[in-house]
Homo-oligomer: A and B are copies of this chain.
Amino acid sequence: MRFLALLTSAGINIGLCALFLMLYSILRKQPGNVNVYFGRRLAEAASRRSNSFSFERFVPSPSWIVKALEYKEEEILAAAGLDAVVFLRLIVFSLRIFSIAAVACVFGILPLNYFGQEIKHKRFSSESLDVFTISNVKEGSDWFWVHCLALYIISISACILLYIEYKSIARMRLVHITQDPNPSHFTVLVRSIPKSDEESYDDSVRNFFQKYHASSYLSHQIIYKTGKVQKIMTNAEKVYKKFVLLKASAIGKKCIPAVYRCGLCGAAPNTIQLYHNEIELSKKTDLDHSNSIRREKECSAAFVFFKTRYAAVVVSDVLQSSNPMSWVTDLAPEPHDVYWSNLWLPYRQLWIRRIATLLASIVFMLLFLIPVTFVQSLSQLDQLQQRFPFLRGILKKTFVSEIVTGYLPSVILQLFLYSVPPIMMLFSTLEGPISHSARKKSAASKVLYFTIWNVFFVNVFSGSVISQLNVISSPKGIPTQLAKAVPRQATLFITYVLTSGWASLSSEVLQLFPLIWNLLKRYIFRINNEQYSVPSFPYHTEVPKVLLIGLLGFTCSILAPLILPFLLVYFFLCYVVYRNQILNVYCSKYETGGCMWPIMHNTTIFSLVLSQIIALGVFGLKRSPVAAGFMIPLVILTLLFNEYCRKRFHPIFKSLSAVDLIEMDQQDELCGRMEEIHCRLHFAYRQRLPDDKDFCQGECSGSHELHEKEEDSQIIQVINSKSDKSEANNDGGQVGQVGNNKDCYKQSEKIIPIL
């Protein structure tokens, strides 16, 4: 690929980006799109739309950028929660580390690479991009210490920055935990309650906790079977019962059937009568009937509430029974975070589900090689021309060939990649997590592994040494193979940053799919209801994207420093766009308290070590044993640093510390708030059951997925009805002050008793 091709690609992308952003700045001002671009704000406060026409609405303006940058971290923390802040921190960290890398590499390494060999440089614009990579430095050069030093600077500053981030995020997490009384801190999810013939699960739970944790046990709430399969089964059961009822009443009225006479093969004479009687009884005592159904639908899981936070954590941490497969306890997720339709899954299945989904993900990853290989072939023009001779005419045109090599591959790859997050989300759901956030976290790591494997490794290797999977079978050769392949593929990665990075950001800000759906709804289907579902932030797609770009940055920084300016632009755009989206579009329904950070930290360390190993291979290939030798302590130090962080910080992200909990408990006791908290606990976790209206005292609403959306819509409806009294806001976006997320919940509490 030539320098000009890169510029073409960059030009197209900058154009597209500018266009999208301009479009956004116009579209966001249209009142019809307010639910697309300000879903979060709608949920928080109201904005009465003025449909009045003004010319200003159609003039692109960069004011939203300024607005997005205006907010302080504390305000975002208050508005969108810790998870959002952690995600923004990742972007800030990337900006910082790649600024350092850019200074070190563009001024130190780029000239070295360019003047590395005494070749005649062509006209700058038609120069091959390879002259900017490390492959242009001649073998055994004395200047490799500069590359070595640059990598040391990058690694050490990355470690320092990571440490600072980890520390401050851990501190923020502690503050977040100790901030407000959270019902999940008082609640333990008990699964795999042993079945007994004598007592129901309800009684089992009560007896168990009254016997062994009498001093701290408050109450409990059994979980009933829900989910789609259960719904079908319930319906089938109902139909069956009606059928039996019909038949029985028919029998009761008419005659004794023929089978009755046969004492050997037929039913015993009193069976049918008994059954009949049973039905009679059940008809009479509706209460008993509903009780028995309830007992049938009870599943071996329950939320158990405790008097103090410490007691709950103790019960969740300590092995309860001498059979580790029964009385399994975990701290409950937040009420909004509970993934109800997975709670009834038998605990004994979970380990095998986990293994099965792991295998399925691996198979999916390998199957995905097919489109990737196709994409790879596009970047090699001559191969393409051989395979499709009729294209030869078109491909001879410079502009077309530049588009095909520089732009098309990553667009196609991008389109294929769109299918990955939903599939991984499906796998994560099948795994049986108990909370939405755990499901999203699991999906995020799956997508992350997937993208790193399929975008980085497969692209690197299929283009060079092997199209098949030979490389995994010889781990010793990996550094050398990587060293050969990565510089060669550096240009592909630069275009990847341009297309996947920039373009996906602008499509993110434009919210293409919701926008189209909104337009369709309003102008084609003519649906004009006020119920909007506010999406929660898609961490499982966005975190892997940002981390992958970071990986490309680290691995390419000293090999092909030309990637760094593009990266910096990308991360700056990221910063602006995601701030805007977090503040305006997405609603944070639940909090993990920054639990995504360890994934981000580990991936960054992986990227660092990978880039060091590649550098080791490159220095080896370039016959610079000293520089290669200096890489080994760097790898070891980076791994030791990671190990230290894992010891020092990771436990905080896995469980809560006794000291903090006890202090919170003591404070609440002193303030006399405990009683109030206990009262609220009983309403915190309420399961909506699909059909049996006797079960839930409150309103029932369809299946679980629906229920959540409906809840949001109810919130919005109430806010809307309130908003009539509030001031109209013509800006269309900056609705009042940044509301507090908790206020939003408190408002909702008045309508639906959810904490």
Contacts and interface: CB of A to CB of B under 8 A. Distances in A.
Interface string A613-640: 0000000000000000000000000001
A692 interface: no
Interface stretch (A48-56, A314-322, A551-559): A314-322
Interface in A346-384: 351-352, 355
A636 to B, nearest CB: 9
Copies of this protein chain in the complex:
2
A630 B659 CA distance: 55
Nearest to A314: B314
Contact of A652 (B324, B656, B660): B324
A646 to B, nearest CB: 9
A355 B643 contact: yes
Interface string A629-668: 0000000000010011001111110011111101000000
Tell me which of A317, A475, A643, A662 has the highest count of chain B C-beta atoms within 10 A of its own C-beta: A317
Contacts of A643: 351, 355
A250 interface: no
Nearest to A659: B321
A325 interface: yes
A212 B476 contact: no
B658 A320 contact: yes
Contact of A658 (B319, B473, B474): B319
A640 B325 CA distance: 16
B475 A662 contact: no
A337 B662 CA distance: 33
A248 interface: no
A374 B722 CA distance: 88
A324 B651 contact: yes
A656 B319 contact: yes
A274 interface: no
A313 B318 contact: yes
Interface string A437-476: 0000000000000000000000000000000000011111
A174 B351 contact: no
A477 interface: yes
B648 A324 contact: yes
Interface string A306-342: 0000000111011111111101000000000000000
B317 A352 contact: no
Contacts of A644: 351
Chain A facing B: main interface SS: helix
A644 B476 CA distance: 34
B657 A321 contact: yes
A656 B319 CA distance: 7
A477 B472 CA distance: 11
B473 A476 contact: yes
Contacts of A649: 324
Contacts of A325: 647-648
Nearest to A476: B473
B473 A647 contact: no
B318 A314 contact: yes
Interface in A516-548: none
A659 B475 contact: no
A78 to B, nearest CB: 22
Contacts of A324: 647-652, 657
Interface residues of A, number: 41
Nearest to A325: B648
B317 A317 contact: yes
Interface in A185-237: 212
Contacts of A647: 324-325, 351
A473 B472 contact: no
A432 to B, nearest CB: 14
Contacts of A320: 657-659
A426 to B, nearest CB: 23
B355 A658 contact: no
A712 B327 CA distance: 44
Contacts of A170: 322
Interface in A269-325: 313-315, 317-325
Contacts of A327: 659
Contacts of A322: 170, 174, 652, 657, 659-660
Contacts of A321: 657-659
Contacts of A476: 472-473
Nearest to A311: B314
A126 to B, nearest CB: 42
A33 B355 CA distance: 57
A640 B170 CA distance: 37
A313 B320 CA distance: 11
A319 B476 CA distance: 40
Nearest to A644: B351
A170 B320 CA distance: 15
Nearest to A647: B351
A662 to B, nearest CB: 5
A327 B315 CA distance: 20
Contacts of A657: 318-322, 324
Contact of A477 (B323, B473, B477): B473
A174 B323 CA distance: 10
Contacts of A473: 474-477
A170 B659 CA distance: 34
A319 to B, nearest CB: 5
Contacts of A662: 212
A277 B325 CA distance: 67
A651 B351 CA distance: 14
A671 B429 CA distance: 51
Contacts of A352: 640
Interface in A695-754: none
A656 B321 CA distance: 9
Contacts of A652: 319, 322, 324
A659 B660 CA distance: 26
Interface string A466-491: 00000011111100000000000000
A737 B649 CA distance: 56
List 5 A-B pairs, minimum CB-CB distance, nearest first.
Answer: A473-B476, A324-B651, A322-B657, A317-B317, A319-B657
24 contacts: A174-B322, A313-B318, A314-B314, A314-B317, A317-B318, A318-B655, A318-B658, A319-B656, A319-B658, A320-B657, A320-B659, A321-B657, A321-B659, A322-B652, A322-B657, A323-B648, A324-B651, A324-B652, A351-B644, A352-B640, A355-B643, A472-B475, A473-B474, A473-B477
Given A314-B314, A314-B318, 17 more contacts: A212-B658, A318-B658, A319-B651, A320-B657, A320-B658, A321-B657, A321-B659, A322-B657, A322-B659, A322-B660, A323-B648, A324-B648, A324-B652, A324-B657, A351-B644, A472-B476, A473-B475
